[in-house]
Amino acid sequence: MWQPSESYPDPAVEVLDPRFLKYRIDNAAIERLATGIRYGEGPVWFGDGRYLLWSDIPNSRIMRWDEESGAVSIYRRQAGFANGNTRDRQGRLVTCEHGGRRVVRTEYDGTLTVLADRYEGRRLNSPNDVVVKSDHSIWFTDPVFGILNNYEGYKSQPELPTHVYRLDPETGRLDVVASDILNPNGLCFSPDESLLYIAENGSQPNRIRVYDVRDERTLAQGRTFVDAGDQGIPDGMRCDMEGNVWVGWGPDPALNGVMVFAPDGVPLGRIALPNRCANLCFGGLRRNRLFMVAGQCLYALYVDAAGAARP
C-alpha cells in the first residue's frame, strides 16, 4: 500500500536532468488527498472557490475536493461518464462526456448546454480532453476509448475518424484541426499558444505530437515531440509558464506517475505514483500545486513552477 514519504526531499520526485532541480521543492512531498473512486480523470481547478473538480468515469460522476476543509463530495451524479474538464474564459465548466458522446458547458445556474455532439451529421466518438484558448475557442480530442466497452460509456461503433476539433462558441462551427492522429488523448497549449501538444495513443509506439498554431484557428507542421517507445503511454498534460510539459504517464509500475519534459523534448524529471496518472492540472493560490489523478486516488505536490495562466 502506498504511504507518504517521511523523508525530504521526497524520493518519489526524481531528477532526470539538472534543470529540474529548480522546480523541485525539497521539503514538499506527494500528498494523497482522496481515494475511493473507480478511475479518475480530468482535474480542473476553481481558484475563485478554492476547490478542485475531477471525473470518476465508471461511476459517471464528477467529484469535488475543497482546499480549506479537505472535504471530498460529489459535485454531479449521472455525469454522462464525464472525462476531461476545463473552464472557459467566463469561468464555466466545460466537460467531455463519453455517455452522450458530446462536449457540454455547465451554466451559472447549473443547467447544461450541449456545445458539440456531431460533425457533419455523424455522432462524435467519445470526446476525451478539452482546452479553451484565449480567443474563447474550445479545442478537444475525440478518440474511441469511451465506446469500446460498457464500463466507461456505452459500447458502440465509431461513426467518425479520430479527430481533434476546434469549436467556435459564438457561431457553433466545428472544424477538424488535426486529422492525421490516431486516437488523440490529452492536449495543452504552450504558454503563448503558439504550439499545441497532443498525446497520440493509437500510434506504434505511443507519442506526444506538437503542432504550430496558425491564424489562431488551424494547425500546421505536426511532428513528434516525445516518442514514448516502450516506455509507457502519455495521457493528460499541462504546460507551466516556462513551457515545460507535465504529462500523466503509465501503466508500467516502473513508469507510473508524471513525466516532465523541457520545451526541447528532453525529460527533466519524474513524479512516481502507485498507478498510472491519467491527468493533472496546476492549482492553488499561486498555481504552483500540481494535482494528479491516478487510478482510484487524487494526489498533489507543491512545485516551484506555475501552471500556464488559465481562468
pLDDT at 216: 87
Contact, 146 vs 134, CB < 8 A?
Answer: no
Three-class secondary structure of residue 95 per DSSP? strand
pLDDT at 311: 52
pLDDT digits (tens, 9 = 90+) for 40-96: 999 999 999 999 999 999 999 999 999 999 999 999 999 999 999 999 999 999 999
- Residue 310 pLDDT more than 80? no
pLDDT at 225: 98
Three-class secondary structure of residue 134 per DSSP? coil
- Mean pLDDT of the 267-294 span: 97
What kind and span of H or E run contains 184?
A: strand 184-189
pLDDT at 261: 98
- For the chain, domains (ranges, CATH) are 13-285+293-302 (2.120.10.30)
Look up the pTM and report it.
0.97
Contact, 299 vs 33, CB < 8 A?
Answer: yes
DSSP string, 1-64: -----SSSS-TTEEESSGGGGGTB-TT---EEEE---SSEEEEEEETTTTEEEEEETTTTEEEE
- Residue 284 pLDDT more than 80? yes
Contact, 187 vs 141, CB < 8 A?
Answer: yes
